[in-house]
Amino acid sequence: MPDNSRFTVTVDAPGKIILFGEHAVVYGRPAIAVPVIQVRASATIESRADDAVVIDAPDIARMSTLRDAPADDPLATIIRLTCARLGVPPEKFTVRIRSTIPVASGLGSGAAVSVAVARALGKYIASVTLAPHASVGMPNADISDLAYEVEKLHHGTPSGIDNTVIAFEQPVYFVRGKPIESFRVAKPFTLAIADTGIAAPTKIAVGDVRSQWEADRELFEKLFDNVGTLAHNARVLIEQGAIEGLGGLMTANQILLATMGVSSLEIQRLVDAALGAGALGAKLSGGGRGGNMIALVTEVTQDAIVRALLKAGAKRVIVTMVGGRQ
């Protein structure tokens, strides 16, 4: 047997934002999402002398064993599923999770933790069993599939966009059930991501949209179609480097999301503040109701927009570049 007495593997995964198409993506329309590298979740797997699997998540003051975790616990689920996929029993390691991604805010914290744990376990197990592809670990598609299973615990009918963009760590044009499509960002652009500070579980917003869709399918199918057209047109502009045109599409997407009932006073206040300070466009990102909004900024407007967002109540603002060096 290999000596794995002091063996440790650490892997991290980025956050994400949805640029276009949230909610409509659950109903088969395209959406665009990009990784956000300024916030990350990391998973460390450390070998243990005893047989236990210990879950240590100091950020949420959690320390427990896998054996004692409930069947639907997200961390326990990703550990169990990954070990089952790799054909090994879960035993003899500690999983330590750290994350700077705010939870329930549209930045993909749950999916990032799942991706980091699955990828770290893949590498760890490949290494301690001296598998031939030890340095490679599991393919991104497998990691994305495993994380998707956990997304189902977070909200019943996930589209799969979060686990896909985070596992592949590149901009994606995502259509539910279709193979991942990446695309060229011809000219980098900059977004300010502002947090309303309101934790809003995606499950509730997704459920509310579903009830409204059931009550008026004709209206909601039309709203989803319009969102899908915006996502399609946005991809064309991004591929052409015609960034000036993107802002109008973002603000149009925000109006459609508000019509679906997933915006909020706090989000709208930040959207208005960003537009008032010169943003080319602004919208909520993710499930809505709270969480984060995004604004398209330029080098010239960036500072004024960040100040305006903080003044309008944003709890924090992250500036991130899409495409090019981040």
Enzyme catalytic residues:
162
Residue 44 or 159: the one with the smaller Cβ distance to ligand PMV is 159
Residue 66 or 75: the one with the smaller Cβ distance to ligand PMV is 75
**Residue 324 CB contacts under 8 Å (≥ 6 apart), including other chains:** 185, 188
Q: Which of 12, 22, 73, 149 binds ligand PMV (CB under 6 A)?
A: 22
| 264 sits near ligand PMV (criterion: CB under 6 A) | no
Show contacts with ligand PMV in window 194-253 (CB under 6 A): 202, 206
| 286 sits near ligand PMV (criterion: CB under 6 A) | yes
- Smallest distance from ligand PMV to CB 202, Å: 4
| 161 sits near ligand PMV (criterion: CB under 6 A) | yes
Residue 202 or 251: the one with the smaller Cβ distance to ligand PMV is 202
| 171 sits near ligand PMV (criterion: CB under 6 A) | no
Instruction: Please state the three-class secondary structure of the chain as a single string.
Output: CCCCCCCEEEEEEEEEEEEECCCHHHHCCCEEEEEEEEEEEEEEEEECCCCCEEEEEHHHCEEEECCCCCCCCHHHHHHHHHHHHHCCCCCCEEEEEEECCCCCCCCCHHHHHHHHHHHHHHHHHHHHCCCCCCCCCCCHHHHHHHHHHHHHHHCCCCCCHHHHHHHHCCCEEECCCCCCEECCCCCCEEEEEEECCCCCCHHHHHHHHHHHHHHCHHHHHHHHHHHHHHHHHHHHHHHHCCHHHHHHHHHHHHHHHHHCCCCCHHHHHHHHHHHHCCCCEEEEECCCCCCEEEEEECCCCHHHHHHHHHHCCCCEEEEEEECCCC
Instruction: Tell me, residue by residue from 104 to 133, as one string, x for binding to ligand PMV by CB under 6 A and - for no binding.
Output: --x-x-------------------------
| 162 sits near ligand PMV (criterion: CB under 6 A) | yes
Residue 90 or 108: the one with the smaller Cβ distance to ligand PMV is 108
Alpha-carbon distance of 219 to 225, in angstroms, equals 10
| 283 sits near ligand PMV (criterion: CB under 6 A) | no
| 99 sits near ligand PMV (criterion: CB under 6 A) | no
Residue 42 or 159: the one with the smaller Cβ distance to ligand PMV is 159
Residue 202 or 320: the one with the smaller Cβ distance to ligand PMV is 202
- Smallest distance from ligand PMV to CB 251, Å: 19
| 287 sits near ligand PMV (criterion: CB under 6 A) | yes
| 256 sits near ligand PMV (criterion: CB under 6 A) | no
Instruction: Tell me, residue by residue from 141 to 160, as one string, x for binding to ligand PMV by CB under 6 A and - for no binding.
Output: -----------------xx-
By the 8 A CB rule, do 105 and 286 touch? yes
Tokens coding 114? 């799942």
Closest CA to 243 of 19, 14, 6: 19
- Smallest distance from ligand PMV to CB 111, Å: 7
Q: For binding to ligand PMV (CB under 6 A), which residues are involved?
A: 18, 22-23, 25-26, 106, 108, 158-159, 161-162, 202, 206, 286-287
